[in-house]
Amino acid sequence: MATLYTQQQSNIWKTWSLMAGFFVLVILFGWVFSYVYNDSAILYIAVIISILSSVGSYWFSDKLVLSMSNAQEISAKDNPELYRVVENLCITVGLPVPKIYIIDEEQPNAFATGRDEKHAVVAVTRGLLQRLQRSELEGVLAHELSHIRNKDMLLQTVVVVMAGLISIASDFMLRSMFWGGNSDNKDRNPLMLILGIAAIILAPIAATIIQLSISRKREFLADASGALITRYPEGLASALQKIAVDPHEMQDVSTATAHLYIESPLRGDRAANWFSKLFMTHPPVEERIAALKNMNVEQVEKELYGK
């Protein structure tokens, strides 16, 4: 039976596999264009970029995400109640207290990031603090702490850097092929030129696949293990309902960071049919709420921990 601990090890393995796959993808991208432009330097540059971005995504991706979100760190004196809730939950779950950030957005939402338990961050929007009751806030924070304990957050955060870099590289190559680059077009191998164009078209799709490789089941797992922390699944269910129906648009968010949040901050990201559901970053909120309302805490605890 799969337990919480095997899930943690699986997420660690997925992280390194994802980074290795990205490394290979960037090198392959560079190899194709080194032939298209008949310049081996492009391949060497791709290798260097791949190494630097992989290392950088491990150490600095959390800082990039916080910067992209315009999140501001707070201390205990800035918001004593929020700090007290986080501290109490951390004591319950046996985690170090993470750094706490607030995002100045009306939309209620939250995410966790960082490379490990000792370098974790929990960020919440101003709208979340204003609209949720204490039990609902505890449910959301317990969900985010579960991502930390389940070792989901590194896997989530690394995706931001990887997907972004691939998309930028694709856009750069597209512009250079049509507006500049090697003027010796007649010397280009037609087959490699076709491969180059195909790579440009497929690169954004590959970036999306990388994001979607983060299984939506991690949200169900975080919902379940978060409910175990509070022993009150209804609190998180009520919070998800309020977050889902809130009409406010989030200003500082993109498709590269949307998957980090407890619920998609992109208000158009709703599944209309089974096909569109395949491309969602989160499970449908209705399914999550139903799972929480039907949740048997003792049974889930047995399934997660093998007790």
The two three-digit tokens of residue 294, written as one number: 């039907």
Which of 8-12, 98-102, 284-288 ranks highest by mean pLDDT? 98-102
By CB neighbour count within 10 A (0-12 exposed, 13-18 middle, 19+ buried), where does 119 fall? middle
Distances (CA, A) of 158 to 15, 55, 57, 102, 259: 8, 10, 5, 21, 11
Distances (CA, A) of 45 to 37, 169, 175, 188: 13, 12, 18, 20
Query: Is residue 156's pLDDT more than 70?
Result: no
Answer yes or no: are the C-beta atoms of 128 and 150 closer than 8 Å.
no
Query: Is residue 86's pLDDT more than 80?
Result: yes
Q: What's the whole-number mean pLDDT along residues 182-206?
A: 65
Helix (H) or strand (E) holding 299: helix 297-305
Regarding whether 289 and 223 lie in a shared domain, the answer is yes
Report how far residue 235's alpha carbon sits from residue 139's, in angstroms, rounded to the nearest whole number: 5
Tell me, what's the pLDDT at 50?
64
The two three-digit tokens of residue 92, written as one number: 């319950």
Size of the chain, expressed as the number of residues it contains: 307
Tell me, what's the pLDDT at 40?
73
Regarding whether 253 and 202 lie in a shared domain, the answer is no
Please write down the HEC assignment for all residues of 234-253.
HHHHHHHHHHHHCCCCCCCC
> In the chain, how many domains are there?
2
Tell me, what's the pLDDT at 95?
95
Beta strands in 170-256 (DSSP E): none
Regarding whether 45 and 33 lie in a shared domain, the answer is yes
The domain boundary residue, chosen from 212, 232, 249: 212
The domain boundary residue, chosen from 177, 196, 212: 212
Which of 120-129, 145-154, 280-289 ranks highest by mean pLDDT? 120-129
Regarding whether 236 and 101 lie in a shared domain, the answer is yes
Tell me, what's the pLDDT at 164?
67
Out of 73-77, 83-87, 214-218, 271-275, pick the least confident: 271-275
Query: At 128, which CATH number?
Result: 3.30.2010.10
Catalytic residue among 105, 136, 138, 144: 144
Residue closest to 262 by CA, chosen among 218, 211, 212, 215: 218
Regarding whether 140 and 255 lie in a shared domain, the answer is yes
The domain boundary residue, chosen from 177, 212, 247: 212
Greater model confidence, 265 or 307? 265
Which of 20-29, 94-103, 115-124, 191-200 ranks highest by mean pLDDT? 94-103
Domain that holds residue 123: 66-151+215-305
Query: Is residue 4's pLDDT more than 60?
Result: no
Q: What's the whole-number mean pLDDT along residues 115-132?
A: 94
Regarding whether 164 and 298 lie in a shared domain, the answer is no
The two three-digit tokens of residue 73, written as one number: 């760190």
Regarding whether 278 and 227 lie in a shared domain, the answer is yes
Regarding whether 136 and 31 lie in a shared domain, the answer is no
Active site includes 234? no
Regarding whether 177 and 115 lie in a shared domain, the answer is no
Query: Is residue 184's pLDDT more than 70?
Result: no
Regarding whether 168 and 83 lie in a shared domain, the answer is no
In the sheet that 99-103 helps form, which strands lie side by side, from edge to edge?
71-74, 99-103, 120-125, 110-114
Regarding whether 181 and 91 lie in a shared domain, the answer is no
Regarding whether 133 and 233 lie in a shared domain, the answer is yes
CB-CB neighbours of 16 under 10 Å: 14
